[in-house]
């Protein structure tokens, strides 16, 4: 694979980018990270606090409908929300086996177990589908703002949505989320799947009446083709993972909910009690929205890192090159292939890499083999199963203080030993609940030599 000229220059000038081109695990610290106050005005020109509150309100309005149709959401009153679990055994094991220093308390945000879609995509994806359904129903007079949204379960509503199509391009989990929710509402659904998508995800969607279209190409191609086909059909709506603001808002709502959970745990987040969060990134939408929401609430007291496979660090490169979506990991000689199907996006979202350019603290890369090792470790120590893509999050606490760049960041941010001892670290588990048993067996027995 020929390395592009701009990439060559970056590789020569930056040792971290050289490590990336050498397919090594690394930690990139954001050279344009800014104090929150300096980002506030510009960010709010694009996505405001009101936009996020509006999304939270809309989800609350749909809660009676979700609760009625998906009894698994009964405990959360129809909100699609996941537990925050303290994982001290995993923390101890990581410290032991990886020689890591992990101060503070380690938690797992279990979006792996979110209702309906079993992944973080249940936030953004389902929000966008619900918003689209509401927009159509309001425009055509099927509902009014004051109606109880349980009405969306009525037969005439399903018939109404049956006239419309929803389409999406996906490596798997977004397709599951959009597909399951849209089909449930009554929409016709087409999911354009990239080559990385796992067979069981395609099978599950087909079993729900979703039209799955397969591509031999990568994710960007599946998205481009889906977008084109949808644009040709006036009755079709395309959920655009590379540009979508509604998706982003659905993810951003997570922050407010997490804040409540931290309060319930009696955890303080302030200058002396920092919050450090690690979120696996594919195209950047989910981690980008979560990061945005967290920064708006916790400002400089939260430090958000993304994590990506060594072969597909597209969001990292979109940031580091300042080329945003105009980057492909192939430009750096990387295959873009990974066992982490949820993260295998060769080019990042232009929207997210721009809006989060000054907010993200950094980005870790992780080799595929470790995904499975961490998966087995979490199962052994905490009896929790999350899919390999999700396990990318653990490289954060493991490497933050083992990498020179990480130590420098902590020192520049004034995060001394005392503050770190008081810190809360959260690994964001992004998927897993829908994985079939036979696939778990396969995962548990997968070992990759580095």
Ligand X SMILES: *Cc1c(COP(=O)(O)O)cnc(C)c1O
Using CB under 6 A as the binding rule, whether residue 388 contacts ligand X is answered as no
182 HSE (CA, 13 A, CB side): 30
Q: Does 287 bind ligand X (CB under 6 A)?
A: yes
Q: Is 282 one of the binding residues for ligand X (CB under 6 A)?
A: yes
Q: Report which secondary-structure segment, H or E, holds 425.
A: strand 424-429
Residue 140: phi and psi, rounded to 5, are: -95, 10
Nearer to ligand X, 67 or 198 (CB): 198
CB of 177 to ligand X, least distance (A): 9
**In 3D, which of 424, 444, 282, 279 has the Cα closest to residue 374?**
444
| Minimum distance from residue 258 beta carbon to ligand X (Å) | 16
Site string for ligand X, 164-203 (x = CB under 6 A): ---------xx-----------------------------
Residue of 283, 366, 398, 426 interacting with ligand X (CB under 6 A):
283
Least CB distance to ligand X at residue 206 (A): 19
Q: Give min distance, CB of 219 to ligand X, in A.
A: 9
Query: What DSSP line would sit under 191-249, residue for residue?
Result: EEE-TTS-HHHHHHHHHTT-EEEE-SS-HHHHHHHHHHHHHT-TTEEEE-TTT-HHHHH
| 284 forms part of the interface with ligand X (CB under 6 A) | yes
Tokens of 53: 């509150």
Which residues inside 316-335 make contact with ligand X, applying CB under 6 A?
none
Distance CA 166, CA 132 (A): 9
Q: How many chain residues bind ligand X (CB under 6 A)?
A: 21
**Distance between CA atoms of 86 and 282, rounded to whole angstroms?**
25
As a whole number of angstroms, the distance between CA 390 and CA 120 comes to 10
With 0-12 / 13-18 / 19 or more C-beta atoms within 10 angstroms meaning exposed / middle / buried, residue 264 is exposed
User: How many C-beta atoms surround the C-beta of residue 286 within 10 A?
Assistant: 33
> Which residue is at the shortest CB distance from ligand X?
282
Q: Which one of the spans 126-134, 180-188, 278-286, 402-410 is the region binding ligand X (CB under 6 A)? A: 278-286
Residue 244 touches ligand X, criterion: CB under 6 A: no
Q: Does 309 bind ligand X (CB under 6 A)?
A: no
Shortest distance in whole angstroms from residue 280 CB to ligand X: 4
**How would you label 105-127 residue by residue, b for 16+ Cβ within 10 Å and e otherwise?**
bbbbbbbbbbbbbbbbbbbbbbb
Retrieve residue 122's tokens: 């249940």
We find the least distance from the C-beta atom of residue 173 to ligand X, in angstroms, to be 3
> Does position 91 bind ligand X by CB under 6 A?
no
Q: Which stretch binds ligand X (CB under 6 A): 19-27, 50-58, 383-391, 405-413?
A: 383-391
Q: How far is the CB of 232 from ligand X (least distance, A)?
A: 25
What tokens were used for 236? 């079709």
Residue 203: count other Cβ atoms within 10 Å of its Cβ: 11
Please, which residue, 173 or 230, has the CB nearer to ligand X? Answer: 173
Nearest CB to ligand X, comparing residues 39 and 389: 389
**Which of the residues 116 through 155 are near ligand X (CB under 6 A)?**
119-121
Closest approach of ligand X to the CB of residue 316, in Å: 12
* CB of 160 or CB of 428, closer to ligand X: 428
Q: Smaller CB distance to ligand X: residue 64 or 83? A: 83
342-361: contacts with ligand X (CB under 6 A): 342-343, 345
The residue range among 34-42, 324-332, 386-394, 436-444 that interacts with ligand X, by the rule CB under 6 A, is 386-394
Q: Which is nearer to ligand X, 116 or 420 (CB)?
A: 116
Which of 313, 286, 295, 225 has the alpha carbon at shortest distance from 22? Answer: 313
Of residues 380, 381, 389, the one with CA closest to residue 439 = 389
Say whether residue 430 binds ligand X (CB under 6 A).
yes
Distance of CA 73 to the CA centre of its chain: 21
| Rounded least distance, CB 324 to ligand X, Å | 14
How many angstroms separate the CA atoms of 420 and 364, rounded?
A: 19
Find the part of the chain contacting ligand X (CB under 6 A) among 261-269, 280-288, 318-326, 403-411: 280-288
Cβ closest to ligand X, residue 349 vs residue 423? 349
Q: Of residues 285, 293, 318, 350, which one binds ligand X by CB under 6 A?
A: 285
Rounded to whole angstroms, the Cα distance separating 219 from 56 reads: 29
C-alpha 137, offset from chain centre: 29
Residues engaged in binding ligand X (CB under 6 A): 119-121, 173-174, 280-287, 342-343, 345, 387, 389-390, 430-431
């Amino acid at each position: 694979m020929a390395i592009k000229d701009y990439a060559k220059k970056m590789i020569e000038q930056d040792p971290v980018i050289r490590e990336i081109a050498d397919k090594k695990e690394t930690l990139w610290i954001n050279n344009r990270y800014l104090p929150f106050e300096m980002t506030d005005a510009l960010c709010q020109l694009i996505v405001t606090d009101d936009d996020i509150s509006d999304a939270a309100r809309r989800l609350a309005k749909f809660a009676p409908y979700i609760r009625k149709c998906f009894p698994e959401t009964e405990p959360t009153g129809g909100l699609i929300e996941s537990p925050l679990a303290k994982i001290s055994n995993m923390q101890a094991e990581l410290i032991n086996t990886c020689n890591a220093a992990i101060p503070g308390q380690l938690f797992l945000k279990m979006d792996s177990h979110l209702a309906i879609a079993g992944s973080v995509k249940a936030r953004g994806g389902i929000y966008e589908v619900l918003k689209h359904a509401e927009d159509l129903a309001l425009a055509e007079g099927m509902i009014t703002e004051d109606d109880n949204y349980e009405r969306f379960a009525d037969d005439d509503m399903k018939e109404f949505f049956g006239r419309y199509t929803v389409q999406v391009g996906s490596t798997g989990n977004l397709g599951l989320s959009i597909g399951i929710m849209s089909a449930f509402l009554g929409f016709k659904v087409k999911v354009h799947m990239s080559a990385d998508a796992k067979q069981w995800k395609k099978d599950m969607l087909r079993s729900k009446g979703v039209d799955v279209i397969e591509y031999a190409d990568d994710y960007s191609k599946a998205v481009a083709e889906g977008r084109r086909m949808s644009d040709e059909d006036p009755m079709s709506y395309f959920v655009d993972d590379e540009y979508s603001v509604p998706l982003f808002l659905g993810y951003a709502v997570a922050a407010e909910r997490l804040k409540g959970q931290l309060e319930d745990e009696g955890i303080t987040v302030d200058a002396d009690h920092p919050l450090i969060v690690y979120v696996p990134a594919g195209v950047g939408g989910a981690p980008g929205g979560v990061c945005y929401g967290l920064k708006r609430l916790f400002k400089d007291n939260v430090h958000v890192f993304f994590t990506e496979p060594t072969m597909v660090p597209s969001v990292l490169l979109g940031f580091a090159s300042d080329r945003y979506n105009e980057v492909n990991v192939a430009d750096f000689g990387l295959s873009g292939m990974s066992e982490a199907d949820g993260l295998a996006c060769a080019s990042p979202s232009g929207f997210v890499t721009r809006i989060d350019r000054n907010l993200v603290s950094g980005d870790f890369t992780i080799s595929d083999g470790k995904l499975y090792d961490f998966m087995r470790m979490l199962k052994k120590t905490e009896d929790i199963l999350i899919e390999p893509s999700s396990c990318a999050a653990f490289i954060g606490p493991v490497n933050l203080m083992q990498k020179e760049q990480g130590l420098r960041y902590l020192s520049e941010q004034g995060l001394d030993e005392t503050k770190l001892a008081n810190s809360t670290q959260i690994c964001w588990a992004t998927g897993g609940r829908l994985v079939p048993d036979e696939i778990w067996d396969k995962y548990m027995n997968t070992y990759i030599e580095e």
